[in-house]
Structure 1
Amino acid sequence: MKYGTPEPLLDDDFPDKWTLVEGKEESGWTLRGGILSNRVVKEKGRRFGNVRTRAEYEDFRLTTDVRTLEGSNSGIYLRGRYEIQIAETFGKPLDSHNMGALYSRIVPAVAAEKPVGEWQKLEITLVDKHVTVVLNGQTLINNQPVLGCTGGALQSDESQPGPIMLQGDHTNIDYRNMVLQPVKKRD
């Protein structure tokens, strides 16, 4: 597979590249020193927003470092439709809600999580409707079919490109070094 020009998503152009999904929600997202942090306060009646790229993508490889905090529960939505679970699941039995799973659909093949507070390297490739997920150098999902949208999808038209969306309404999480490379189409 060949990839196009890498596009850094967490650089100084962050405000131009990302937006809250719903403008009326509170934002817990801040970018400082190349680290995108989400900090939320769980109180009745208070809701924090998800962020999404303004650009939309078709087939791509997304790489990022992620750091879970105590009780982290977040997600990276591919094309705004397919959630790769980001959660603090170190030491837990394999499950479709663990770090790197296709949420509620595909259980990771191995447990590759690091303990809370450590940076972890995540690589996700989405081509057509097949996903590969590599966490800390171990393949969790290998070119498996994505069978429909996961919960929380922005829209359900699977024939269209879509944004990268980061779930921000649950708990605290950190990302850095997020880079998207489009898959080059064959000539």
Structure 2
Amino acid sequence: MNIPTLLLPAALSIGISITAYAQVGVGTKAPKGATVYFDGTQKMRDAKWTYWDGPGRVATLPIKWPMATDPVDGGPVMTSNDPASAGGKYGSADLVTKDTFKDARIHVEFLIPTAGGNSGVYLQNRYEIQVLDGDSTAHGMAAVINEEAAPYSAYNGLGKWNAYDIIFRAARFTNGKLTEQPMVTMYFNGKKVHTNKSISQVWGGPKSGIDGGNDGGKGITDTPGGLKLQAEGHNVMYRNVWIKPLSLTTASTDF
């Protein structure tokens, strides 16, 4: 595994101190205070994840996402091709962390072995960062889905590992009323591709995640959610997933 050397030369100015230098990219290890949610092993997968119990769920425990051997580095990985999602059954077998969060620093690595491979990384089980080979639209690779076009040029391509490094700030509420939209900054393979991008709603309907069926996805609530990985009948591989909870006092996610 290649450990990245990209260092960001300024501290995070977001109301807390995380580290003076934030490392990003493929191979980035969990920093102090973060929890590793997937190290490639079935034991960790089964301990820290479960199926999202949404309206499209078909899969039943135990988790049936296949375990596999990393085609690049030879270590253990899991793949999103759950049998229950065969044929592209949306929301049928998505995995979500048992832990929930609001603000967070998130790292996810994925590899797509065949053309057109499709999955997704859902922040707070609401807001999708797309994983889709071959698509550079606002519904495509690394897009904040339906909000901003894919930064496709940063994609490493088929058969190679890719990394999302994310700071996410959850929506804010006062007396139960939405006062600030959720916000995200993201590096894709070490390149900053989204900066303080606000997210207007949950896209994809009730099968997509929390609040997807609430006022057409615009009815965001204050319920915390886990990190979700989508199964959609494709063989997308995952490894090295970690999350560090944050408490962002200012409306910025830039790092």
TM-score, length basis structure 2: 0.63
Unaligned runs of 5+ in 2: 1-11, 19-31, 69-74, 171-181, 212-219, 250-255
Matches within 5 A, 1:59-78: 59-70=103-114, 71-78=116-123
Deviation at 1:44, TM superposition (A): 9.4
Q: Assess if the C-alpha contact under 8 Å between 2:118 and 2:232 holds in 1.
A: no
Q: How does 1:151-166 map to 2 (within 5 A)?
A: 151=204, 152-156=207-211, 157-166=220-229
Which residue, out of 94, 97, 107, partners 2:139? 97
Preserved CA contact (<8 Å) 1:109 1:139: no
Identity of aligned residues (%): 23
User: 1:19 — aligned with what?
Assistant: 50
More strand by share: 1
Assess if the C-alpha contact under 8 Å between 2:81 and 2:233 holds in 1. no
2:199 matches 1:141: no
- Count of aligned residue pairs for this structure pair: 182
> Larger Rg: 1 or 2?
2
Whole-Å separation in 1 of the counterparts to 2:51 and 2:143: 24
Aligned counterpart, 1:85: 130
Please show how residues 49-60 of structure 1 align to structure 2 within 5 Å. 49-60=93-104
After TM superposition, give the deviation of residue 142 of structure 1 in Å: 0.9
Q: Which amino acid aligns with 1:55?
A: D
**Segment drifting more, 111-120 vs 30-39:** 30-39
Q: When you count helix as a share of all residues, which structure comes out higher?
A: 2
Gaps of 5+ in 1: none
Q: Residue 47 of structure 2: SS of its match in structure 1?
A: helix
The TM-score normalised by the length of structure 1 is: 0.84
Moved over 3 A (4+): 1-4, 30-34, 40-45
1:29 is aligned to 2:74? no
2:35 corresponds in structure 1 to 7
Greater relative contact order (Cα < 8 A, sep 6+): 1
Structure 1 residues 48, 81: CA separation in 2 closer, same or farther (over 3 Å shift)? closer
Q: CA deviation at 1:110?
A: 5.7
What do you get for the CA RMSD once the two structures are aligned?
Answer: 2.5
Render the CA deviation track for 1:70-121: whole Å, top value 9, x for unaligned: 12111011111100001113xx5x3112211011221135621112010112
For the residue of structure 1 that corresponds to 2:38, the secondary structure is: coil
Correspondences of 1:100-111 after superposition (within 5 Å):
100-109=142-151, 111=153
Taking the aligned partners of 2:87 and 2:45, their CA distance within structure 1 comes to 28
Letter aligned with residue 114 of structure 1 = N
